Amino acid sequence: MVKHREHKPRILVISVRGFRFQVANCSIYEFEDMLCSLEGAQLYAPEQEFPVARAMYRVAKYATRSDRIASSVSPFPTEILLENEYDFLFAVLDNPWQMHLLESIKNWRDKCRYKACYIMETWKPSFDDWRLAYEPFKNFDQIFSGTVHCVEALAKATGVPCGYLPPGVNALKFCPYPNPLQRVIDVCCVGRRSPKVHQSLFQHSQQDHSFYYYYDTVKNQNLEIENAQEHRAKLISLLQRSRYNIAAHAKFNSIKETGGCQEIGSRFFEGVAAGTVMLGTPPKGDAFLRYFDWEDAVVKVDFQQQDVLDIIQEFDAQPEKIASISRRNIVNALLKHDWVYRWRAVLAAFDFKPSQAIIEREQYLQTLAHSVNSVINPTIKQIPFTKQSEQSGLEIS
């Protein structure tokens, strides 16, 4: 699948959306959609991983340690032949084993001036696999990692500059203003969850029928969807109508996969952008405190020691505080966590100037933040307004 533009695009975006349908990937597909919309980027999304060609590529790479030799002997089909020259090739991947997809573009080395990849997830145990170092990282000038604990390890293992680029959101779509909806859902909990918390909330919803608890019923954590945009719209609709949202650090119940490392999951960014009161266990470490550096961004709840219903009851007795937290979360998301800020950080790493569309979006985000911050409500203390935070950008290793 290739999306073409009438004018000559300066950016080529490589996507895995053609064969990866996991719910968790909807966030990065949202990022890609923004790039196509704002930057007029050309999107290339192959519909398969080319397993035979990939296997031959890796065998050749293990034997020769040369990406060019491996590329020349691997039977990758030519999915597209680039006619235009691009300033920038940007591959958006959900794991570090997908970089070979570039080989299905016949002349990408000649037509793309700079190359970078954004790898949403890499976990510490991956580095125990010797084969990882043989993946074609050196095809790129820069690696952007969505997991902060792997930045230094990736840079060391690959010899390629690597920086942390946290998840983001389309803050304009998640923002419930200027026409906020009634929050009829008391608690929203989608994705991975604590069994103890779920049972407490579920039992309460059965006893008190006025208590609306929204939760998943599917067992498979690797849930696949048919349409990423539709799923994203549904999530936005749910969160904009929810008072509280339950969240924990990414893959908190998959220690074997994560190696015990704690990362900021997308759910935190989505929840604050929609103006919910976030209840949960944020990841340990400095990164979370840098990117969620405002009061009550997340109300910490020890799911093993505390009953989340007690916390909810305590906050329900303080409606002014709930409203203040909600508004503060929205304002900070507009100023710090829209995908446009992540993209500006990527551009800055290559000394690219932002397009006029990028500048205008940033200006509108700040204007909307001003508007939300100044909502007239005499019972709520005004939130101190600050310009776009430095925490919206990139951290280089």
Q: What is the pLDDT of residues 169-206, one digit of tens each?
A: 999 999 999 999 999 999 999 999 999 999 999 999 99
Q: What is the pLDDT of residues 24-38, one digit of tens each?
A: 999 999 999 999 999
Q: Which residues contact 283 (CB under 8 A, 6 or more apart)?
A: 249, 250, 262, 263, 264
Bigger pLDDT: 51 vs 8? 51
Question: What is the per-residue pLDDT for 107?
Answer: 93
Locate CATH 3.40.50.2000 in the chain: 171-339
* Residue 97 pLDDT > 50: yes
Grade residue 389 by pLDDT with cuts at 50, 70 and 90. Answer: very low
Q: Which of 36, 14, 25, 3 is nearest to 227 (CA)?
A: 25
Q: What is the overall mean pLDDT for the chain? A: 91
Question: What is the per-residue pLDDT for 374?
Answer: 84
Q: What is the pLDDT of residues 202-256, one digit of tens each?
A: 999 999 999 999 999 887 667 899 999 999 999 999 999 999 999 999 999 899 9
Question: What is the per-residue pLDDT for 1?
Answer: 56
* Residue 380 pLDDT > 50: no
Grade residue 392 by pLDDT with cuts at 50, 70 and 90. Answer: low
* Residue 66 pLDDT > 70: yes
Q: Could you tell me the fold of the domain covering 2-164?
A: Rossmann fold (3.40.50)
Question: What is the per-residue pLDDT for 384?
Answer: 40
Q: Prior bond to 96 cis, omega within 30?
A: no
For residues 348 and 144, what is the distance between their CA atoms, to the nearest angstrom?
Answer: 13
* Residue 96 pLDDT > 80: yes
Task: Lowest mean pLDDT of 6-10, 250-254, 275-279, 380-384, name the range.
Answer: 380-384
Q: What is the pLDDT of residues 100-125, one digit of tens each?
A: 999 999 899 999 999 999 999 999 99
Question: What is the per-residue pLDDT for 383?
Answer: 39
How many CA atoms lie within 13 Å of 191's alpha carbon, on the beta-carbon side?
Answer: 22
* Residue 390 pLDDT > 90: no
Question: What is the per-residue pLDDT for 314?
Answer: 96
Gyration radius from the chain CA atoms = 22
Phi–psi pair at 209, nearest 5 degrees = -75, -10
Question: What is the per-residue pLDDT for 157?
Answer: 92
Question: What is the per-residue pLDDT for 199?
Answer: 96
Long-range contacts of 67-76 (CB under 8 A, 24+ apart): 67/136, 67/138, 67/139, 70/136, 71/103, 74/103, 76/50, 76/100, 76/103, 76/104
Hey, what are 208's tokens?
């008190």
How many CA atoms lie within 13 Å of 103's alpha carbon, on the beta-carbon side?
Answer: 28
Q: What is the pLDDT of residues 116-161, one digit of tens each?
A: 999 999 999 999 999 999 999 999 999 999 999 999 999 999 999 9
For residues 296 and 272, what is the distance between their CA atoms, to the nearest angstrom?
Answer: 10
For residues 38 and 130, what is the distance between their CA atoms, to the nearest angstrom?
Answer: 39
For residues 358 and 353, what is the distance between their CA atoms, to the nearest angstrom?
Answer: 10
Hey, what are 283's tokens?
């990841």
Question: What is the per-residue pLDDT for 397?
Answer: 46
Grade residue 388 by pLDDT with cuts at 50, 70 and 90. Answer: very low
* Residue 305 pLDDT > 60: yes
Type of residue found at 201? L
Question: What is the per-residue pLDDT for 378?
Answer: 33
CATH code for residues 171-339: 3.40.50.2000
